[in-house]
Amino acid sequence: MAVPTLPPSERQTTPPGLFSLPVIVAALGYFVDIYDLLLFGIVRVPSLKDLGLTPDQISTVGTSIMNWQMGGLLIGGVLWGVLGDKRGRLSVLFGSIITYSIANIACGFVTNVTFMDPTTYYALMRFVAGIGLAGELGAGITLVSEVLPKEKRAIGTSLVAGVGLFGAVVAYFTVKLFDWQTAFFVGGGLGFGLLLLRVGVVESGMFKNVTEQTGVTRGDFFSFFTNADRFSRYIKCIGIGLPTWFVIGILATFSNEFGKALGISEEIQPGLAIMWCYVGLAIGDLSSGFISHRLESRKKGVALLMGIALLFSLVYLFVGISSATMLYGLCLAMGFGIGYWAMFVTIGAEQFGTNLRATAATTVPNMVRGLVIPMTLSYQALKPLINTINAGAVVGLFAFIIGFYAILTIPETHGKDLDYLEE
Residue 329 has pLDDT above 90, yes or no: yes
Alpha-carbon span 132 to 145, nearest angstrom: 22
Q: Domain segments of the chain: what residues?
A: 13-216+225-422
Helix (H) or strand (E) holding 126: helix 118-133
pLDDT in tens, 14-62: 555 666 676 777 788 778 888 888 888 888 888 999 998 888 888 888 8
pTM score over 0.85: no
pLDDT in tens, 275-317: 899 889 888 888 887 787 788 788 898 999 999 999 999 999 9
118-153: b or e for each residue (b if 16 or more CB lie within 10 Å)?
bbebbbbbbbbbbbbbbbbbbbbbbbbbbbbebebb
Residue 204 has pLDDT above 60, yes or no: no
The pLDDT, as a whole number, for residue 105 is 93
CA dist list (Å): 27 to 155, 175, 407, 415: 12, 22, 25, 22
295-325: b or e for each residue (b if 16 or more CB lie within 10 Å)?
eebbbbbbbbbbebbbebbeebbeeebeebe
Residue 415 has pLDDT above 90, yes or no: no
pLDDT bin (cut points 50, 70, 90) of residue 399 is very high
Give the chain's mean pLDDT: 81
Looking at per-residue pLDDT, the higher value among 388 and 164 belongs to 388
The pLDDT, as a whole number, for residue 423 is 67
> What type of residue sits at position 401?
I
Range list of β-strands (E), 267-316: none
250-259: b or e for each residue (b if 16 or more CB lie within 10 Å)?
bbbbbbbbbb
Residue 371 has pLDDT above 80, yes or no: yes
C-alpha radius of gyration, the chain, whole number: 20
Alpha-carbon span 320 to 296, nearest angstrom: 38
pLDDT in tens, 153-192: 667 777 777 777 778 788 888 988 988 999 999 988 888 8
Residue 363 has pLDDT above 70, yes or no: yes
Which of 422, 359, 341, 399 minimizes the C-alpha distance to 76? 359
Which of 51, 58, 69 minimizes the C-alpha distance to 257? 58
The domain 13-216+225-422: what is its CATH number? 1.20.1250.20
